[in-house]
Structure 1
């Protein structure tokens, strides 16, 4: 009897894990909605500061930059991208086609702003 309960518990756990995994994968792959990352650069400081953001492979990403002066973001994807922004508000649209962790940083501030975890 105990053996049947143990087998039942294992099968229930496997079924639950499979349903959670399938559900999470579908959301990422089917989403055409952009992931919005709000970035503020003011007085030589940036927010966020190294946060990780989950995105799907090929999913649109909007980097909404609010800055007190113009500058450039570096996206360490394949190929690398340099994206200029103006003083005020700028929306930079990107997508990453390969899975992995892609850093977005400011070389001027020598700081990683966000890490895009592409799945």
Structure 2
């Protein structure tokens, strides 16, 4: 069977559409807050900044490149990934298990000023940077 350029373009559009549908479904799941972990000790959940991320096929689909926080603020990083992995915040040395297809929440009190990488550990994906001032 010979594929034409039209077939190749159509296949690429279908893959992109499928990824978009998967990402939208994962984002809706993350937004519902299912599977969210409780806030860490001493952190006020009411004042928490909440940042949602979706990872599909090893790439970030949604979420900010930088999270800005002031010292003392509570930050929640909610990640929904299509594969199991581990979320890691460098400098704070905080981790959260990522279960495939379910949102995972890492909550931390931003007490250490600086810029810290947040990565999906096994994948090596730089998810975002946490900038605390």
TM-score, structure 1 length as denominator? 0.63
Rounded to whole Å, the distance in 2 between the matches of 1:91 and 1:83 is: 7
Number of positions where the alignment pairs a residue of Structure 1 with one of Structure 2: 87
Superposition TM-score, scaled by structure 2 size = 0.57
Deviations 1:59-110 (A, max 9, x none): 11111111112210111124x1222122212222112211111110123222
- Deviating above 3 A after TM superposition, structure 1's stretches of 4 or more consecutive aligned residues are 47-50
Aligned-residue Cα RMSD (Å) equals 2.0
Unaligned runs of 5+ in 1: 1-31
Long gaps (5+) in structure 2: 1-45
Larger radius of gyration: 1
Hey, what does 1:95 align to over in structure 2?
Answer: 109
40, 49, 68: which one aligns with 2:54: 40
CA contact (8 A) 2:88 2:96 kept: yes
> 1:7-38 deviations in whole A, cap 9, x for unaligned?
xxxxxxxxxxxxxxxxxxxxxxxxx6211111
